[in-house]
């Protein structure tokens, strides 16, 4: 083991599972945050079978429920004294409007607000590490979004592109504002676009809705495997090449420029203040 600890959200499948496998193989102690106990245990077994000099353990928690976030944050504080890497990987997308248990629009609630609260509750552990890193898995879909401050939970008008685009833009604005707020502590905060990755994001596990599309997409050569998609997250988590680099947006392990709206520092600060109120931090 290399003595380093990482937390990966959404670690039970797709890029989160691929990231966990790679980090364990690199010697990390990986805390795998999973919403479902059974799927989490299955993923943990996959990591163990893949092998490596590190170790993995399951942390159960639901980013769609503020009380669960507070509980798993307490759990993590009880397990470790520092976190070298926090990877905000979990994500949802929904063709129809849904809400979290706290009444948030689902994509904004999980992709942004859930990670916002979790990151703030775990920030002390990252600060306790030597040059801690926070990696935010965003998406090029941010280009189709804007922050609807007048109706952030999309109660008046909803469509899946509007929902997902807003949540991914929020990811980037959050990462940039967090980088500013943690600059003096030496934490590196970066966001990334993983590319087009074939995962089961968007498939309803209860009804199976979306499976046909998933199978069809799997035949297209332009889609990456989860391991390929996870490569940039692993790079930002572990590579010495990005030591000291913060507030950047990466694609294929290279920094990329952002559209102007994703570099709007005023909007980022406004989103942060609004988010604090929503999750009960202010």
Q: Which residues pair with 30 in a beta bridge?
A: 6, 56
Closest CA to 178 of 123, 227, 231: 123
Q: What is the DSSP string of 21-84?
A: HHHHHTT-EEEEEES-HHHHHHHHHHHHHH--SSEEEEEE--TT-HHHHHHHHHHHHHH-S--S
Instruction: Give the chain's end-to-end CA distance (angstroms, integer).
Output: 39
Alpha-helix runs per DSSP H in the chain? 14-25, 37-50, 66-79, 106-107, 115-128, 160-181, 211-217, 226-238, 265-279
Query: Looking at 28, 142, 158, 164, which residue is catalytic?
Result: 164
CA distance 156 to 177: 28
Q: Which two tokens stand for residue 12?
A: 């039970």
**CA 22 distance to own-chain centroid:** 16
Catalytic residue check, 164 = yes
Is-contact 175 138, C-beta < 8 A?
yes
Element (H, E) at 190: strand 188-193
Q: Which two tokens stand for residue 70?
A: 């507070």
Q: Which are the catalytic amino acids?
A: 164
């Amino acid at each position: 083991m290399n003595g380093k600890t990482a937390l990966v959200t959404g670690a039970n499948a797709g890029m989160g599972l691929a990231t966990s496998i790679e980090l364990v193989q690199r010697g990390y102690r990986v805390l795998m945050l999973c919403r479902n106990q059974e799927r989490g245990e299955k993923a943990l077994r996959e990591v163990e079978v893949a092998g490596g000099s590190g170790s993995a353990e399951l942390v159960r928690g639901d980013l769609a429920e503020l009380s669960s976030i507070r509980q798993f944050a307490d759990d993590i504080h009880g397990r470790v004294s520092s976190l070298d890497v926090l990877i905000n990987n979990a994500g949802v997308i929904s063709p129809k409007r849904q809400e979290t248990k706290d009444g948030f629009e689902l994509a904004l609630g999980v992709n942004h607000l859930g990670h916002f609260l979790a990151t703030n509750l775990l920030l002390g552990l990252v600060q306790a590490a030597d040059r801690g890193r926070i990696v935010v898995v965003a998406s090029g879909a941010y280009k189709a979004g804007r922050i609807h401050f007048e109706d952030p939970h999309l109660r008046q008008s909803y469509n899946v592109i509007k929902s997902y685009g807003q949540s991914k833009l929020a990811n980037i604005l959050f990462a940039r504002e967090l980088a500013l707020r943690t600059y003096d502590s030496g934490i590196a905060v970066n966001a990334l676009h993983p590319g087009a990755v074939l995962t089961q994001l968007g498939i309803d596990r209860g009804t199976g809705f979306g499976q046909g599309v998933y199978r069809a997409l799997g035949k297209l050569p332009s889609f990456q495997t989860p391991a390929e998609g996870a490569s940039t997250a692993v790079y930002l988590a572990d590579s010495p090449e990005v030591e000291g680099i913060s507030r950047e947006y990466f694609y294929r392990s290279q920094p990329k420029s952002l559209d102007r709206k994703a570099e709007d520092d005023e909007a980022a600060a406004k989103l942060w203040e609004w988010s604090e109120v929503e999750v009960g931090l202010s």
